[in-house]
Homo-oligomer: A and B are copies of this chain.
Amino acid sequence: MSKFVITIGREAGSGGLEIARKLASALDVPCYDRELIAIVAEQRGVSTDILEKADEVKAKPWDSPAIVGMPSFNDKVFSLQAEIIREKAESESCVIVGRCADQLLKRRDDLLSVFIHAEPEFRLRRIMEEHKIGRDDAARLMKRTDKNRRAYYQYYTDRTWGERTAYDMILNSGKLGIDCVVATILKVIEETAK
């Protein structure tokens, strides 16, 4: 099979991470999600706890540095992650979750950029189950996560999160089912390798 990089953007609770891990497992390649934070932490000797607060979150106005025009801590974390994403995409076939990877890698011929979405009810139920929380807490978490991801994507790429022109495939995991989504993406990888 030729070299490829699959990027997975995803709405909160849509199963994007599960799909990414299943794809990586089926294709026997690494999957990068929070792993990227661990790599930054290791390379820079910074605690993962601090880095995780800036992961896929753009700086809030009150987090901005005192000097206008200086990059915020979140900007620095984004840049370090971007560097690692580009290195990984260059050196190996892999699956990368979120973190604007589709736009960071958009000039690569071997990129397949995917976005996963689903109806709110499907996503709510998954979040309740995953986090063992009630409906109201799950609804708040879903809303906040999507809001952060949308703002982060918009800020670092100047594109609209989940808008069709930014992706090669957009799939509804609630309608198709997680395993069907995995099989469909595998089919595209197989077809484009021909």
Q: Which of A115, A164, A183 has the most CB of B within 10 A?
A: A164
Interface flag for A79 (CB, 8 Å) = no
Q: Determine the distance from Cα of A168 to Cα of B188 in the docked complex, in whole angstroms.
A: 16
Task: Give bound CA distance, A177 to B187, whole Å.
Answer: 13
A191 CB within 8 Å of chain B: yes
Distance to closest chain B CB from A2 (angstroms)? 14
Bound form: Cα–Cα A167–B177 in Å: 14
* Chain B residues closer than 8 Å to A172, beta-carbon distance: 164, 167-169
Contact of A184 among B117, B164, B177, B184 (CB under 8 A): B184
Asked whether A175 lies within 8 Å of B168 as measured between CB atoms, the reply is yes
A171 at the interface (CB under 8 A from B): yes
Residues of A2-39 at the interface with B, using a CB-CB cut-off of 8 Å, are: none
Say whether B165 contacts A117, CB under 8 Å. yes
A175: chain B residues at CB < 8 Å are 168
A111 nearest in chain B by CB position: B175
A184 to B169 Cα, complex, angstroms: 10
Q: How far is the CB of A73 from chain B (nearest CB, A)?
A: 32
Taken together as a complex, chains A and B put the C-alpha atoms of A180 and B172 apart, in Å, by: 19
- The answer to whether B176 touches A183 (Cβ under 8 A) is no
Bound-state CA distance A152–B179 (Å) is 35
Fill in one digit per residue for A127-165: 1 if any B CB lies within 8 Å of its CB, else 0: 000000000000000000000000000000000001111
Contact pick for A162, options B117, B164, B169, B192, CB 8 Å? B164
Residue A170 at the B interface, CB < 8 A? yes
Residue of B168, B170, B187, B191 near A167 (CB, 8 A) is B170
* Chain A contact residues, CB within 8 Å of chain B: 115, 117, 162-165, 167-172, 175-177, 179-180, 183-184, 187-188, 191-192
